[in-house]
Each structure stands twice: as structure tokens, then as C-alpha cells.
Chain A
Amino acid sequence: MTEAKHIELSPEAMMEVGRIISHYPADKQKSALLPVLHIAQKEFGGWLSSESMDYVARLLHIHPIEVYEVATFYSMFNTKPVGKVLIEVCQTGPCCLNGAEKIVSYLEKKLQIKVGETTRDGMFTLKTVECLGACGYAPMFQIGETFYEHLTEEKVDNILLEMRNKNS
């Protein structure tokens, strides 16, 4: 979580923002909103506070409400805090034909949380999402930018362990 006063992207991220803005016509910097929100979310602890959204609005010279409208529309933007590791399990039809629901139950049991909750140590948040485009490699979940496919209980155990080690 971030302090309202100290909200600012790192110099590297600012470079990236500049590069992204340059992709669009000069007066259309609002187009950069989605990619810039992705960057802001990554930099500001995996979620978008109203302060970070106001900051993005200033970066792109748009009104804050335009950012709120967009951030709340797209499912990848979290407007509430999440754990260090966000596990997004695909729960759409083809995955369910191959045991996605069992993976969700297993994760709930293993992490002792329900879908939508965060573990007490703030490590894991469990979320179910709709089709991620991995129907042929089901069941699967996504952590960050990585797809974990053909999941089994053993695989899930290993991934959780790896994530815990990497993030503590």
C-alpha cells in the first residue's frame, strides 16, 4: 500500500509511460490509459487506490472520473488491495470439463480461504476468473503474467511453495 503523498512512478516506469504515450497521436494520450494503469497497478502494490488513479489522471491530463470509470470496468484492475500473489483460476466451461472446480476447492482448502479472500499473512489472494484462453490446457490459473496449465494437486502444491519462497 502506498502513501497518498508519495505516489510517484519509478524513473524506469516513467520512461515506459513516455514510450507508450508516444504510440498514440499527440492529442490522444488518453489512449494510453489501459497500459499505464497496468504499470501503475504493478508499481503500486497490485491494486489501484483512488490516489494512484488520480495520479494517472494527472499523468495523462484527463479527469479523474475518466480513470475511475475505466479502472472499475476492466476485471484485471483491482480497486481494492490484494495479496502479494494473486491466483486467478479460470472457471469457464472447458476448464470445468477438466476439473477446474476441483482445483478451486483444493486451493480453498490449502490456503484456508474462500474465493475472493486473501490469506491472513497477505500472501495469497484467490480469485476465479472467466476464460483465459487456455481451454486446451485445462485446468489452469494465472499468477502475474504466467499461465500455469494442466494443473494437478501436486503441481499446485509446488507452485504455492515456490511463490511463498519467492515472496517472503
Chain B
Amino acid sequence: MGRKLLLENLDKPEINTIDGYIKYGGYRALEKALKSMTPDEVTEEVKKSGLRGRGGAGFPTGMKWSFLDKSTDKPRYLLCNADESEPGTFKDRLLMEKIPHLLVEGMIVSSYALGCRTSYIYIRGEYMFILRILEKAIAEAYAKGYLGQNILGTGYSLDLHVHPGAGAYICGEETALIESLEGKRGNPRIKPPFPAIAGLYNCPTIVNNVESIAAVVPIVNNGGEDYAKIGIGKSTGTKLISASGNINKPGVYEIELGVSVEEFIYSDEYCGGIANGLDIKACVPGGSSVPILPKDLLFKQSDGSPRLMTYESLSEGGFATGSMLGSGGFIVFDEKACIVRNTWNFARFYHHESCGQCSPCREGTGWMERVLHNIEYGHGKMEDIDLLWDIQRKIEGNTICPLGDAAAWPVAAAIRHFRHEFEYHVKYPHRVFDADHVYQPEMKMQTV
């Protein structure tokens, strides 16, 4: 059983209240940081911990913090990205719903480190019920003197607010989030300037994922070095993995980075194996935008060693044979799952979520969805597969924000690893229909 730093007290009674949270060691990091550490010392611990952004990009959090422009008199802002919308990802929700004070404490400590006087938690609008939970937790923290003027008599003051989105995946992109927080359409900004120089209201701004901010609490409590002891290489600490799809035990698991993929899927501690006694076909290990990996590439790296749940191991081999840890949205497909149908589904998602600002994404995502729909519903042509490949290639890397890449990668990976399923759909559309879109390889057709 691995160490748990975030969800350790998940099942403790009243952990959602401030008293329950304090009873199990809550707000110790706040006292420690504000009373005995300078802001730079807090940042230093975060750097030492090796914590990498848990939202998906995996950029070192401490380094991101060090980019914050402290040379101006402008206010600085810390924004928590709680816009969790990547299909397959629901970890932040659990954390905020069950242990809201962990995020609140993380926000206070991180804001202190960055010198912010006002900070915001930007939460997706669909999580309105969690917004209420967070607002209650924040009110409790104000009442206890952990927020507001002169926190615990240290002279440090902070206001923390929760801001709801209203249904836009793109607002998880940090500059779109900032635009949205300014009351505008969620159109990502053209960078540079980066938020650390000119973000919210044109002021220096840091945007961090919920889980990254929560991780600052154990990092301050136990020291960055202790955190860095967990994990392998540059993948330090623990990570929340949201497991879904055709598995026996879907849910959120806190793993020590470095657990093998095989163990994660088959161990009873985690996913508990594939549901209904079926075999696994494929897995999207890091949220819908990362490349899908077929079974034979999922468990082993190209050198034959076991593939591990780390940033490096999951991306080993590049996109040819690897994928990404991403946001930890771990979606498992059993042998009957139809890759074409799922690829179409994801393409529809990105089509729906494109902000429409830049041409490759605006026009390309819809085009891909239509071609995939044709293939899935029996109107595909063989050349459509190459066309799809070409469209995704012309979107990738050519857009303002990473949504273009996120839309292109799943299509590319599906064609790369499951071209035979696309061809099967084109060749035998009626068989796909007869099987109610459940994928049945040709040789198994007699048994259907």
C-alpha cells in the first residue's frame, strides 16, 4: 500500500468541516509557513519537492512560481484551475467535495509564497454544488482567522473567492480561464506575454491545478525532500488517478508515481481488473487528449521493461509507442469496445469545445468529427482514413492553444494503432450495425 498525502483522511468523519480537518492535522502547513517561513522558503520547498503541474502539462510548479514577475507594484494573483473538464478526469472534484479545506489551505500557503492579496478558485459551472462546499469552507476559514486581514497575527492578509465557469472545456487553458474570469468569452490569449508577466487584469498571475495546490500542503508539512522521496526520477510524489471505463472498480486513486500500469489495472487496491471477465484492448492513460495505447504497448516499454505510472515511462517511445500521464484520466477499454466509435465520440467533444478563434481548430475539429461519423455509421471510404490523418496533422501544432493538439492526438493514435478497425468499419459497415456498434473482430463473427 503506497503512501497517501492528499486522500489519507478521505474517510475520516467530518473531514469536510474545518474542525474535522483540523482534528486530522489540517492547517498545520498554514501555521508553519506563515509563522516560521519566508515566502521564498515556501517556494524553495516546492521546488525541492519536484512537484509537477497536475492539470496535465506536468510543468514543474516551483519553476512556474519563480517566473512570477515580482518587479512591478501591480497586485499578483494566484488562480486555482478547478475547471476539470478533460474527459476521464474527475479527481479534483473528489478532493474539493470531500476535503475542501485541503484546497483552501493550499491556496493560502501558495498565495503567501507568491505574495498575492487576492486569489480565486475558478471552478467549472457544472460543479456548482462543489462551489457551495468551497464557499462554506472559505467562510469557516475566515471565521477562524485563516483568511482575511492579518492572518493569525502574522501581518499577512488574503482574500479568497470562488468563481464559477459556465460550461466550456477551453477555460481549463490558463489564459482562457483568465479571460473567463474577466467576464469574457473563453478565448485563449496569444502568448507571449505569459500570465506570470501579464495575466488577470494584466497583472502577474499564476494558474495552478487543484491537485498541485493541494500538494503544497504536505510539501510544506513534511518538507520538499520528503515529497521528492516518493516516486521515480522526475516524477515525484503522489498523483490522483481517475479510473473509468470497463474496469471493476472505477474511482479516484492516489498512487505513488512509479506503480506499474499492470498493477494499477489489475490490483484490487486500484482498478480491480477488467469488468465482466473480459480482456483489455486499450487504454487512454491521461485524459481523452492523450494518445490511446493498445494492450501490447500499454504494459511494456520498448525496452521490454514494465511501463510505470510516471510522466517519463508513459511517454516513453514518443507518440509512436507511448502516450502521456496527462491529467491522470485513466480510461480503460475492454476487448469489445469500439475504437472508432470512441474516437468519433472524443472528436465530437473537441468539436463542441473548440472556441472557434483560430481556423485550424475551428474548421478542423468539425471536419474530423464528420469524417469519423461517416466511418462509424457505415458511410466511410478507405481514403477517409488518410484524409483524417492529414487533417489531424494540419491541426496539430498550428493552433493558438493546446486544444488543437488535444483534438488531433486521439485521432492520430487511434489510426496509428487501430487502423484495422477503421478499415473494418469501411469494409463491413453492416456487421458493425448488426453488432450494435460493439466491435467484433472478423474472426469472431461466427460466434456473434
Contacts and interface: CB of A to CB of B under 8 A. Distances in A.
- Do chains A and B directly touch (beta carbons under 8 Å) in the complex? yes
Contacts of A132: 126
A76 B126 contact: yes
Given A31-B181, A136-B251, A93 B125 contact: no
A66 B182 CA distance: 12
A36 B393 CA distance: 41
Contacts, number: 149
Given A75-B168, A97-B337, A25 B186 contact: no
A129 B165 CA distance: 15
A93 B163 contact: no
> Contact size class for A?
35 or more
B87 A97 contact: no
A77 B331 contact: no
Contacts of A31: 163, 181-183
A133 B125 contact: no
A93 B169 contact: no
A130 B244 contact: no
A75 B85 CA distance: 13
Contact of B90 (A66, A130, A134, A145): A134
Interface residues of B, number: 58
Among A76, A135, A142: residue with most chain B CB under 10 A: A135
Given A93-B342, A97-B245, A133 B124 contact: yes
Interface string A132-144: 1111111000100
Interface in B323-376: 329, 331, 333, 337, 341-342, 345-346, 348-349, 352-353, 355
A28 interface: yes
A92 B88 CA distance: 9
A33 B164 CA distance: 10
**Main SS class of interface, B:** mixed
B201 A28 contact: yes
A83 B288 CA distance: 32
Contacts of A62: 183
Nearest to A133: B90
A75 B352 CA distance: 9
B345 A73 contact: no
A69 interface: yes
A119 B333 CA distance: 36
Contact of A37 (B159, B166, B182): B166
A24 to B, nearest CB: 8
Contacts of B127: 133
Nearest to B203: A25
A23 interface: yes
B88 A135 contact: yes
Given A96-B345, A133-B126, A135-B331, A69 B169 contact: no
Interface string A9-31: 00000000000000101001011
A58 to B, nearest CB: 15
A44 B266 CA distance: 50
Contacts of A146: 129
Interface centre among B85, B183, B349, by most chain A C-beta atoms within 10 angstroms, is B183
Interface string B203-230: 0000000000000000000000000000
Interface string A115-139: 0000000000000011111111110
25 contacts: A23-B120, A23-B163, A28-B182, A30-B183, A32-B183, A33-B184, A34-B165, A34-B180, A37-B166, A70-B184, A75-B352, A77-B166, A93-B88, A93-B345, A93-B346, A94-B244, A96-B345, A131-B86, A131-B169, A131-B288, A135-B242, A135-B244, A135-B329, A135-B331, A145-B128
Interface of A: 23, 25, 28, 30-35, 37-38, 60, 62, 66, 69-70, 73-77, 91-94, 96-98, 129-138, 142, 145-147
Given A31-B182, A74-B186, 18 more contacts: A23-B159, A25-B118, A34-B165, A69-B185, A74-B125, A94-B88, A94-B245, A98-B244, A131-B86, A131-B349, A133-B89, A133-B92, A133-B127, A134-B90, A136-B242, A136-B251, A145-B128, A147-B129
